[in-house]
Structure 1
Amino acid sequence: MPDHAKIYLEEAEKYARLIASQPPLDGVIEEIRPFEGLDIVDIGAGTGRLSAVLAPRAKSLVALDASQAMLNETARQLSEAKLSNWRTEVADHRRLPLEDGCADLVVAGWSVCYLASADAPDWEDNLRIVMSELKRIVRSKGTIILFETMGTGVETPAPPDFLLPYYAQLANLYGFAHRWIRTDYLFESTKEAEEMTRFFFGDELGDRVAREELLRVPECGGVWWLMRIDPERFLHGICDSKR
């Protein structure tokens, strides 16, 4: 399996090319929480998958990530769009460098999982701390939206076993509503499809893409959201979620 931490630090531009082959997610977010004129925080912003589609309509946007290389790519996109309502900063999800109650909307795309997967040390403590930080920065009637994988190379959800306990806690302990969506990759050539899937997902999927000459690589994503947060109950993992 490729080393994702190394990719995020050293191959941000290539990762951005991979993500660019997926559909934008602003419509999914809009269905949950219309975001025109909101103060938005994107944690684990990566190369700007979410920031790039949210910033043009946001009042303000802060993009946070553990990798400066990834944030440089986000900054490039936002600068090229001639936007001035944003900033980036390197940060750990467990220690967000933001003031209390600064966001109407917090989004996180495919990032909390690295701290909360069952094979990560102290994953439950990590998740509790991340949830506490999200509670701290989001306003009392704000919204949190998390995107995570439900399986790559599959037509219907088949999430990795090591993420199931995390997903269960989001729903059962922290009160998130959830559904799944398709986030397929669409490439211009089978050569590109093989190269990019092998780069990020490894040889098993890369071999399949080459063998089947795929242009479209199916993927399922999960969306979890929490609205109308009661701060005291959220802190203790018992959330009042309006669905």
Structure 2
Amino acid sequence: MSDHESIYRHEAEKYDKLISAQPSLRERINAIRPLAGLDVIDLGAGTGRLTVPLAVAVRSILAVDAAEDMLRVAAHRLQAAGSRNWRTAVGEHRRIPATDDSADLLVSGWSVCYSTSAEADPTGGQLAAIVAEMRRVLRPCGTAVLFETMGTGFEEPNPPAFLLDYYAALEREHGFAHDVFRLDYTFADAEEAERLTRFFFGDELGDRTAERGSPVVPEYAGVWWRTFA
């Protein structure tokens, strides 16, 4: 398995190439909470997978990530897109660098899971702290939208076992609604598909991708959302 922390801190451009092979999630977020006029926080923003497409539709957006290299790539992409309503800040899920009641929408993609897996959060205390921090920065009637994996390289949803308790807790203990959808990677060719999946997901998926010989790598994603009173 690849060292994701090292990738996030030292290979942000290559990681951005990988995730750029997936479709935008802006319209899916807009269907949950209409974006026009909102102040937004992207928590665990990475290279701007959510930040960049959202910036063109919202009033303001704050991109927060623990890895400065990821935020550097995000800032470059935002500048290239001509957006000016954004800023970046180094931070993490339990200590968001934002004031109380400062956002209408908080989004987080493939990020909260690193703090809330069965190994990282066996008692659920970290997730409770993260949800409390989301509530702190959101205004009344603010919405949180989280995206996580439901399985990469499979033709049916196949979520990792070590995330199942986290997913269940979001729904049962913290009141999030949930949906599952297809979010395939579409690369330039089969060689790029094999190379980039091996880089991030490791040899098992890299080998299966090479065997498939297709530029398309199937993926399922989950979305969880809640509007707080």
- Aligned partner of 1:196: which letter? L
Q: Distance in 2 between matches of 1:161 and 1:210?
A: 25
Residue identity over aligned pairs, in percent, reads 52
Q: Provide, for residues 15-72 of structure 1, a one-character-per-residue CA deviation record: whole Å limited to 9, x for no partner.
A: 0000110010001101101101100000000000000110011111000000000000
Q: For residue 182 of structure 2, what is the aligned residue in structure 1? A: 182
SS in 2 for 1:208: helix
Q: Quote how far apart the aligned CAs of 1:215 are.
A: 1.0
Counterpart for residue 4 of structure 1 = 4
C-alpha distance in structure 2 between counterparts of 1:211 and 1:151, whole Å: 18
Deviation at 1:122, TM superposition (A): 5.1
Partner of 1:101: 101
Q: What are the within-5 Å matches in structure 2 for residues 134-173 of structure 1? A: 134-173=134-173
Structure 1 match to 2:202: 202
What residue is the counterpart of 2:47 in the other structure? 47
Amino acid at match of 1:221: A
* Count of equivalent residues: 229
* 1:202 to 1:135, Cα distance in 2 relative to 1, 3 A: same
Q: Is the 8 A contact 2:9 2:68 kept in 1?
A: yes
Q: CA–CA distance in 2 between the matches of 1:214 and 1:124?
A: 39
Seen in structure 2, the aligned counterparts of structure 1 residues 121 and 172 have a Cα distance that, compared at 3 Å, is: closer
CA contact (8 A) 2:181 2:222 kept: yes
Tell me the CA shift for residue 121 of structure 1: 4.8
Question: How many angstroms apart in 1 are the aligned matches of 2:107 and 2:156?
Answer: 24
What does 1:68-83 correspond to in 2, within 5 Å?
68-83=68-83
Q: In 1, Cα distance between the equivalents of 2:157 and 2:175?
A: 21
Cα deviations across residues 177-234 of structure 1 (Å, max 9, x unaligned)? 000111100011111011000000110111111112021000000000001x13xxxx
In the superposition, relative to structure 1, how do residues 104 and 201 fare at CA in structure 2: closer, same or farther (>3 Å)?
same
Task: Give the partner amino acid of 1:3.
Answer: D
Quote the Cα distance in structure 2 between the aligned partners of 1:107 and 1:60.
Answer: 13
Q: Distance in 2 between matches of 1:71 and 1:16?
A: 11
User: For residue 116 of structure 1, what is the amino acid of its counterpart?
Assistant: T
Counterpart of 2:193 in structure 1 is: 193
Q: Distance in 2 between matches of 1:24 and 1:94?
A: 27
User: Which SS does the other structure have where 1:143 is aligned?
Assistant: strand
Cα distance in 1 between the residues matched to 2:45 and 2:92: 11
> In structure 2, what is the equivalent of residue 115 of structure 1?
115
Deviation at 1:123, TM superposition (A): 5.7
Q: Deviations over 1:82-118 (max 9, x none)?
A: 2111000000111111100000000000000000000
Q: Are 2:121 and 2:127, in contact at CA under 8 Å, matched by a contact in 1? A: no
TM-score, length basis structure 1: 0.92
- Tell me if the contact between 1:116 and 1:123 (Cα under 8 Å) persists in the aligned partners: no
String of CA shifts for 1:151-195, please: whole Å, max 9, x gaps.
000122110000000000000000000001111000111110110
- State the 1:134 CA deviation: 0.1
